[in-house]
Amino acid sequence: MNSLVDYTAFAMGCILALAGLISVLFGWAPSWLRHVDRPRLFGVWALCIGLFCITQLPALRNGVVRLGSVAVDARVTLLLVSAAALLVGLRRPRGQ
């Protein structure tokens, strides 16, 4: 069961990283995301979350841990950057 979760997180990470890369390069966001005001920031969010999910695969996660504390801190930084990009990129209600 645990390997199913790991591979599902890896697959979702690949999809998010690809969507994020397309959004960053072309400034495009899916049409169903009406709340996204800045597509490139959506891309940064998706790319960071995707890379974080990709490194959840046990072989990659163990490799990151072997690289040391800088690599582990870089994974946490990905989460912080993605949260900031998501908050900055959301559409604000007008008139407030």
CA distance 63 to 27: 33
Q: What is the pLDDT of residue 94?
A: 62
Average pLDDT score over the chain: 84
pTM of the entire structure?
Answer: 0.79
> Per residue in 53-92, pLDDT tens?
888 888 888 888 899 899 889 988 988 998 888 888 776 6
| Average pLDDT of the segment spanning 23-48 | 80
Question: Which residues, 6+ apart, have CB-to-CB distance to 93 below 8 Å?
Answer: none
Q: Is the distance from CB of 19 to CB of 53 less than 8 angstroms?
A: no
Choose between 39 and 68: higher pLDDT. 68
